[in-house]
Amino acid sequence: MTTKTLLLAALLAGVALPASVLAQDFNPDASIRIGSLYEPQNLDNTAGAGQGINEAFNGNVYEALFQLTDAGSVEPKLVESYEASEDGLTYTFTLKDGVTFHSGDPLTAADVKYSIERVTSEASKSSRKRSLSTITGIETPDDKTVVITLSARSISLPYNLSYVWIVNDAATDITATEDGTGPYSLSEWRRGSALALERNDSYWGEAPTNAEVVYTYFTDATALNNALLTNAVDVITSVQSPDSLAQFAGNPAFTVTEGASTTKELLAYNDRVAPFDNVKVRKALARATDKARLLNSIWGDYGTLIGSFVPPTDPWYVDLTGVDAYDVESAKALLAEAGYPDGFEFTLDTPDYDPHPIVAQFLQSEYAKIGVKVNINIITANEWYTKIYQEKNFEATLQEHVNHRDIVFYGNPDFYWGYNNPDVVKLVADAESAGSEAEQVEKLTEANKIIAEDAAGNWLYLYPQIVVSAANVTGYPINGLNSQFFAYDIQKSE
């Protein structure tokens, strides 16, 4: 537990954990074996490869102009310096010197242009395509300079560029091979089982503290846990339930760390339809939900209550758990005020995988106390996508929202939950065209408070991000934002 507290403290202070605090000696030629449930379908993050490719490649094999750090800040990576024009529509980036791809080609402005266009192209399946849609032109006046012009101000441009891998423009078929600038290069990919990275000895930056990283893929969480127990892997990237931790917690051979994920368990109402168009009804349901008890049921002592859609790693986080706190009596009073003194009945479309069915039963039991009857309708993930996300044909649903910095969804009245508050729409739009990061943070913090006051959704809890490792392995990322798992600081003592 002390390790956990220490790591949490480090997280809260927003600093990277100095690996030397935990391990004095390490083997610089160690091989780090990482166990994961997320095997990439291919090696290209613009070709529907899944989150596993971000886990294995982001920051390890490929680098971007900027990097989203594990603490949630955006820092220059391949960019030496950059400046925005007065009107915020032109960004000029100067690239770092001495950066070469694994193939030996030097990094040039043309590679950057090629890489961005790869993401924004017609064929790209990147989930980040839309956020880069304001880019109207990319100029390369010389080998070290990239000029991006925008159709509208976009304060998030550096952040959005942190998702864009810089790929050698001469590389072909990067769905099965790679040519990046990162501290590791791909040494072997055995489809269906493992992906091995080896240290890039001509890396431009600081050398990794290990020689090799092997991602081994499992389809079953129990098998993954057993692999760590039997020393077949050194680290598990994300633990899915607190109960499998019983095998590791309290055992000095293992370290359990809890970081802050960005995955939010959400009871989403269809705010377009009665009675959920009534803010009093939404607030009543929020107050009738004992979230602390729910979180304990699902995650035991892990996880966080946030009171809104914003996790602590987003810059516009504020603790809003005090808004519409658990209070059954005031929930009843609000329902009566809203014109439902005897409650009402609604259907809760519940995805069929854990933890949603159990969360649904919890809510059913809680809301019965204020006279609200919940009918649970179990649906598959595909049904959720078509019926709810596309057709918006539902009353209420449960979903885990994994994205980082996704409060902007509340600024889109056409989003599946149909929340439409002109103030929030304006704040989200203004935040994007803000002149400074401080202004962006101020506006989105304001939006965050408004959605909480409006009880736009019922944010039940934030999932924990739990990493378990052998005790002799340290230095891995604890938050795993955007599924990233930077391997270059991992140290292993023998």
Partner 1 sequence: MSTTTMTAPADKKSHSLALKAGVVLVGVHIAIGLLTLVWLPYDPTAMAGGRLEGPSLLHWLGTDRLGRDLFTQMMIGSRIALIVGVGAVTIGAVIGVTLGLLAAFASKWLDDALAATLDILIAFPTLLIAMLVVAASDTANLWSAIFALGIALSAIVARLTRILAKRVLVMDYITAARTSGSGWPKIVAIHILPNIWPTLSVNFALQFGLAVIAEASLSYLGLGAPPPNASWGRILQEAQGTVYTAPLGAIAPGIALVSLAIGVNLLADGLRDTIDPTRRAR
Contacting positions for partner 1 (CB under 8 A)? 240-241, 243-244, 246-247, 293, 296-298, 300, 350, 352, 354, 357-358, 360-362, 364-365, 368, 376-378
Shortest distance, CB of residue 319 to partner 1, whole angstroms? 25
Cα 206 → chain centroid: 26
Least distance to partner 1, CB of residue 377, Å: 6
User: Which alpha helices (DSSP H) does 338-436 contain, by range?
Assistant: 356-368, 381-383, 422-432
Nearest approach, Cβ of residue 300 and partner 1 (Å): 7
Q: What are the structure tokens assigned to 228, written together? A: 């760590």
How far apart are the C-alpha atoms of 310 and 318, rounded to whole Å? 8
Nearer to partner 1, 243 or 391 (CB): 243
Which CB atom, from 92 or from 240, has the smaller least distance to partner 1? 240
Query: What are φ and ψ of residue 422, in 5° steps?
Result: -55, -35
Q: Between 175 and 296, name the residue whose CB sits nearer to partner 1.
A: 296
Alpha-carbon distance of 365 to 269, in angstroms, equals 18
Give residue 14's identity as a one-letter amino acid code. Answer: G
Q: In the bound complex, what is the minimum distance in angstroms from residue 391's beta carbon to partner 1?
A: 15
- Rounded CA separation 431/242 (Å): 37
Kindly state the DSSP code that residue 136 receives in the 8-state scheme: E
Output the six-digit token pair for 117.
């266009």
Give CA–CA dist 64/74, Å, rounded.
Answer: 11
Question: Residue 350: left (phi > 0), alpha (psi -120 to 50), or beta?
Answer: beta
User: Which is nearer to partner 1, 240 or 330 (by Cβ)?
Assistant: 240
**In this complex, which beta carbon is closest to partner 1, that of residue 47 or of residue 378?**
378
CB of 381 to partner 1, least distance (A): 11
Side chain identity, residue 375: N
Nearer to partner 1, 227 or 279 (CB): 227
Q: How far is the CB of 249 from partner 1 (least distance, A)?
A: 11
CB of 472 to partner 1, least distance (A): 24
Residue 255 token pair: 């370290």
Angle (nearest 5°) at CA 222 between 483 and 313: 25
Q: Which is nearer to partner 1, 130 or 373 (CB)?
A: 373
